[in-house]
Amino acid sequence: MKKSGGSGSGSGSQTRRCLTANFLETRLQFPVASSPANQPSPKSPIFITSSRRKRTADAAGGEASASVAAALMESPKSNALASITDLKHLASSRLRDLKLHVDRSHSKILKDFDSSQSRLHKRFKIQSQACQQVLDEADKEYKRMTQRITESREAMAASYAEFMADAQTTASRACKTSITELSRSFEKQIDALRSRYGISTN
């Protein structure tokens, strides 16, 4: 009786094992719908939101990199940088170029300032020389006019002195000679009148 029971339990376990193997085989042989090569697999909303955020971050990063490139004097387009060392090297080269550009601009501005200052100095010197020349000519003309006035005044004084000398000489001559001659001629005429009319001198 025991042997028959043991054989029954063994056959039952074998039957269960066969059923399990058949179930697994049929489970593995189910047809799986293969997705096309170009058709993307469906994603959950979580993955869709994360991908959108990634694209937005990539766009913002692209704008920032474009602004940095424009700030670094329109650096030439290059591939993705290999490391931070390359980025530092590029930034240092751009800064060096910017510094050289600033130095050249500064030297050019200084050169233009020096040239304009020298031109202004030359113009001021020319104007000063012209003003000094005008002042010298005015001084010479003033001295010339003063000399002419002095000469005219001296000539007038000499002419007046000569005129007064001639007048005094003429007056003294008239007083000395003419009056005496006139008195004599008067006396002669009086004597002639007396002799004509017989008037005595007593």
Which two three-digit tokens encode residue 74?
Answer: 């329109």
The answer to the question of residue 15 being in a domain is no
pLDDT tens-digit series, residues 11-60? 555 666 656 555 555 544 444 444 444 444 444 444 444 455 545 545 54
Rounded to two decimals, the pTM is 0.35
Tokens of 161: 């002195």
Residue 109 lies in a domain: yes
List the domain range (segments joined by +) for residue 138.
54-73+83-170
13 domain residue, yes or no: no
Residue 156 in any domain: the answer is yes
Looking at the 3D structure of the chain, how many domains does it have? Answer: 1
Q: Is residue 28 part of a domain?
A: no
Residue 17 lies in a domain: no
Would residue 21 count as lying in a domain? Answer: no
Q: What is the mean pLDDT of residues 176-195?
A: 84
- Is there a domain that residue 126 lies in? yes
Q: Is the model more confident about 199 or about 26?
A: 199
Q: Are 201 and 194 a contacting pair, CB within 8 Å?
A: yes
Cβ-based neighbours of 201, under 8 Å, separated by 6 or more: 194
